Amino acid sequence: MITRASNVAAGLTAAQIAAALEEEIALGYLRPRERLVEEELAERFNVKRHFIRQALAELDAMGVVVRQPNRGATVKDFSAAEVEDLWAVRTLVEGFAAKLIRLPAPAEVIAELKAIHAKHIAAAERGDLRNVFRENVKFHKTLFSACGNPVLEELIEGLAFKAHAVRGYAIIDPALLAAARKEHSRIIELLQKAERNALVNLIKDHIQPAKEAYLRLTRHKRVAAMRRESRR
């Protein structure tokens, strides 16, 4: 079960508040279309409202929150078409990055990935989803930093940020999380063995389950809404 403190110590920066909200969006604590009320957040984080506005502006720039004049901020809600479009681009650029990684990967890259992977497994085993999320982000950031193209790295990271509300479905689903851990282990193995084609294909496939889980839920909600309408 995902929990959060009702309040926190004063002194947090806008960036720290944005990071905390980013995690909660990724973990499904804050759901698509949920309102982010400045007054409530200021009370919860024990900060002035301008820190909240800065944090929401940062999340808006990342593409995970939508701010509208006189209506406040809400968690980004993706249509099925938007999800398909976003994942098509993610698949393309992440697959291309995988083609640029030097194989076999440098020993320091492998060592760092193994250390992150161990922390990811430990967090999953103790049910610490916040650290599952953090270590997962670190794993992919480290992986794609090995492509040697900073512009491509930045693009991949930006697309991953936009996908937070969708990606979270692979973290909160035990079966999908277990599969992701196995795939992380396999990615490390392929980096060591210099099996390029298998690595590229796995990296492309690795991001698909979260999308499919989100789309299944979207379809289920749409069908349920139509049934409710038909009963009126």
Look at residues 144, 148, 179 and name the one whose alpha carbon lies nearest to residue 158. 144
Phi-psi region of 46 (alpha: psi -120 to 50; beta: other; left: phi over 0): left
Question: Are 88 and 156 within one domain?
Answer: yes
Residues 195 and 111 in one domain: yes
Is the same domain home to 29 and 117? no
Pair 90, 182 in one domain? yes
Q: What is the mean pLDDT of residues 150-169?
A: 89
The span from the CA of 208 to the CA of 226, in Å, is 27
Distance CA 126, CA 128 (A): 6
The last residue of one of the domains, among 54, 75, 96, is 75
Q: What is the pLDDT of residues 173-212, one digit of tens each?
A: 899 999 999 999 999 999 999 999 999 999 999 999 999 9
Same domain, 177 and 215: yes
CATH number of the CATH domain containing 169: 1.20.120.530
Task: Give 1's pLDDT tier (boundaries 50, 70, 90).
Answer: very low
In a domain, 192, yes or no: yes
Q: At 60, which CATH number?
A: 1.10.10.10
Per-residue model confidence (pLDDT) at position 132: 94
Calculate what percentage of the chain has a pLDDT beyond 90: 69
Query: How many domains does the structure of the chain reveal?
Result: 2
Q: Name 43's Cβ contacts closer than 8 Å, sequence gap at least 6.
A: 7
More confident residue, 213 or 9: 213
The band of 68, judged by pLDDT with boundaries at 50, 70 and 90, is: confident
Higher pLDDT, 27 or 116: 116
In which element (H, E) is residue 104 found? Answer: none
Per-residue pLDDT of 5-60, as tens digits, reads 433 445 789 999 999 999 998 888 888 889 999 999 999 999 999 999 999 999 99
Do 192 and 126 share a structural domain?
yes
- What range defines the domain where residue 87 resides? 80-219
pLDDT band at 4 (very low <50, low <70, confident <90, very high): very low
Pick from 75, 92, 114: which residue ends a domain?
Answer: 75
- Same domain for 190 and 102, yes or no, is yes
86 and 48 both lie in a single domain = no
